[in-house]
């Protein structure tokens, strides 16, 4: 407290001003919220000795309340400020993670950056495989407006020490005044840049790029700007990596798809060639085989008496082998014909189809004492009658063939209707199949028994599978060795 300013020899500029205004008494009370000096409350009066000790008490009381109020307002302002930044960072994070397209990520990055750190121009550069920084996205450069041209710009790091420093230190670099930065590279497009901030984009601790922010005003960027730019850089680097990975996965998927398509086409061609080959070979073998078996049968029948026992044995073997070969050729022709014919799709009542097959098998059923039960509620399926006949004639024939010795075959047919398709089951009480052969038995020539044990060519189930697939269905088996098997055929419903 000063009773009379005019009695003092030296005065601070503020007191000099008060004195000049005719003030004589002066009192200054510190503003100390929580003990920290943030300013003073100054009171002045025209008369010397105007302030009394009780005035000091009142001023101190007011100063204490004022200090708390000022501190509260400052904190509120700081909180609002921080909240605005947090909201912007949050919004940036959302828009950066919403897209997997690299261009959109980089555009969003520069948009959000502008809300946090006011810049006159900015650009994002990404590190290339040959260790250059290639410009990807820009803002605010008058001469860099064509995106296609921008992508062709890249910086050689040895000629740009500021970029190299960011890359090597992996830390942001703030250049308050570019005219004073040694080695600053003058680029015509960036002549306006006086204040420069370079921030590394770090993914897994590796620099994947840099973004630079420019100001025409020297010393514009503050430490807070650096901090905010770094916070956004961390989010952006993750989004950039995700976008790159996504692009990589898509590239791989497309490559894979192309390779699968090429391979499928090759396989289809090879398959067609193979089918054509086996068809023509089987077809051409028929005529000479017919001659062999025809003459063998004539010898066996007409000249049997002229042969000794050994000769009769040999001729019987020739007749039997040529019959087996004829069956094999018929089956091969049936199999290769499958791939050559067009598939009809018409409603086929399974009831009638299976009844006809059972009729065809009547002699074998009677001879083996089999029980073949065809239910009378079988559905109508969508398919080709010839293919359907191939499927069920083979399955029922096998069910009678692969019987246990001395156990009369029991063959049951059942059907389940499911959305869009039906599953027809053919079950037997025969010898069964070990699980390791469930898939293999559907391959051509895959037999589990010798010709002596059970006759066959090993083509029947391959015909079944191919026919089912041509009809848009599939076939599989479940079995218990020594108890029986159930073949299940899935077919489209009418
Ligand atoms: P094939 O009957 O002419 O040998 P398939 O392709 O019809 O040829 O059958 C392949 C093999 O699958 C048969 O050799 C047999 O070992 C086995 N198999 C097929 N059906 C049955 C069945 N119902 N029970 C047991 N084994 C079977």
Beta carbon of 429 within 6 Å of any ligand 1 atom: no
pLDDT computed for residue 282 by the predictor: 79
How close is the Cα of 180 to the center of ligand 1, in Å? 90
Query: 3-class DSSP state for residue 44?
Result: strand
CB 164 within 8 A of CB 147: no
- 32 closest CA partner among 83, 68, 81: 68
Handedness of CA 411, 413, 414, 417 (dihedral sign): positive
Q: For the segment 405-450, what is each residue's pLDDT rounded down to a tens digit? A: 989 999 999 999 988 899 999 999 999 999 999 999 999 888 888 8
pLDDT computed for residue 385 by the predictor: 92
Q: For the segment 269-301, what is each residue's pLDDT rounded down to a tens digit? A: 888 888 788 788 878 888 889 999 999 999 999
How many of the other CB atoms lie within 10 Å of CB of 461?
A: 23
DSSP state at residue 2: B
CA-angle at 343, arms to 340 and 349, nearest 5°: 140
CB neighbour list of residue 172: distance below 8 Å, 6 or more residues apart? 166, 197, 198, 199, 200, 226, 229, 230
Q: Which of 394, 409, 461 to mutate to test the pocket of ligand 1 (most atoms within 8 A of CB)?
A: 461
Which residues in the chain land under pLDDT 50?
A: none
pTM: 0.54
Strand-pair partners of 127: 133
Beta carbon of 395 within 6 Å of any ligand 1 atom: no
Beta carbon of 441 within 6 Å of any ligand 1 atom: yes
């Amino acid at each position: 407290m000063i009773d009379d300013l005019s009695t003092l020899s030296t005065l601070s500029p503020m007191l000099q001003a008060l004195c000049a205004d005719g003030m004589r008494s002066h009192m200054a009370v510190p503003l100390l919220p929580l003990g920290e000096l943030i300013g003073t409350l100054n009171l002045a009066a025209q008369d010397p000795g105007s302030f009394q000790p009780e005035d000091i008490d009142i001023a101190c009381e007011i100063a204490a309340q004022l200090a708390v109020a000022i501190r509260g307002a400052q904190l509120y302002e700081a909180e609002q400020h921080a909240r605005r930044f947090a909201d912007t960072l949050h919004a940036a994070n959302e828009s950066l993670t919403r897209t997997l397209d690299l261009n959109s990520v980089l555009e969003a990055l520069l948009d959000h950056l502008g809300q946090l750190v006011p810049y006159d121009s900015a650009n994002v550069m990404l590190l290339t495989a040959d260790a250059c920084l290639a410009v990807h996205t820009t803002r605010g450069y008058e001469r860099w407006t064509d995106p296609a041209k921008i992508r062709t710009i890249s910086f050689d790091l040895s000629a740009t020490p500021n970029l190299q420093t960011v890359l090597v230190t992996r830390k942001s670099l703030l250049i308050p005044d570019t005219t004073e930065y040694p080695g600053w590279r003058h680029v015509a497009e960036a002549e306006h840049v006086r204040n420069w901030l370079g921030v590394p984009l770090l993914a897994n601790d590796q620099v994947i790029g840099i973004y630079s922010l420019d100001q025409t005003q020297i010393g514009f960027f503050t430490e807070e700007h650096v901090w905010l730019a770094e916070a956004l850089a961390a989010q952006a680097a993750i989004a950039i990596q995700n976008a790159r990975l996504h692009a990589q996965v898509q590239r791989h998927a497309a490559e894979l798809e192309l390779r699968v398509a090429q391979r499928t086409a090759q396989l289809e061609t090879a398959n067609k060639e193979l089918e054509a080959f086996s068809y023509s070979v089987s077809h051409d073998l028929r005529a000479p085989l017919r001659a062999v078996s025809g003459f063998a049968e004539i010898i066996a029948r007409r000249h049997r008496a002229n042969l000794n026992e050994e000769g009769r044995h040999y001729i019987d073997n020739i007749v039997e082998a040529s019959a087996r070969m004829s069956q094999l050729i018929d089956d091969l022709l049936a199999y290769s014909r499958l791939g050559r014919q067009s598939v009809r799709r018409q409603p086929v009542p399974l009831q009638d189809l299976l009844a006809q097959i059972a009729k065809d098998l009547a002699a074998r059923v009677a001879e083996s004492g089999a029980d073949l039960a065809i239910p009378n509620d079988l559905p109508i399926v969508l398919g080709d009658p010839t293919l359907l006949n191939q499927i069920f004639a083979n399955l029922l024939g096998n069910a009678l063939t692969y019987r246990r010795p001395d156990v009369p075959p029991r063959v049951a047919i059942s059907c389940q209707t499911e959305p869009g398709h039906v599953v027809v089951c053919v079950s037997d009480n025969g010898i069964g199949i070990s699980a390791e052969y469930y898939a293999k038995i559907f391959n051509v020539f895959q037999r589990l028994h010798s010709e002596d044990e059970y006759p066959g060519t090993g083509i029947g189930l391959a015909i079944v599978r191919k026919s089912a697939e041509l009809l848009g269905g599939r076939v599989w088996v479940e079995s218990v060795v020594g108890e029986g098997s159930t073949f299940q055929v899935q077919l489209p419903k009418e």
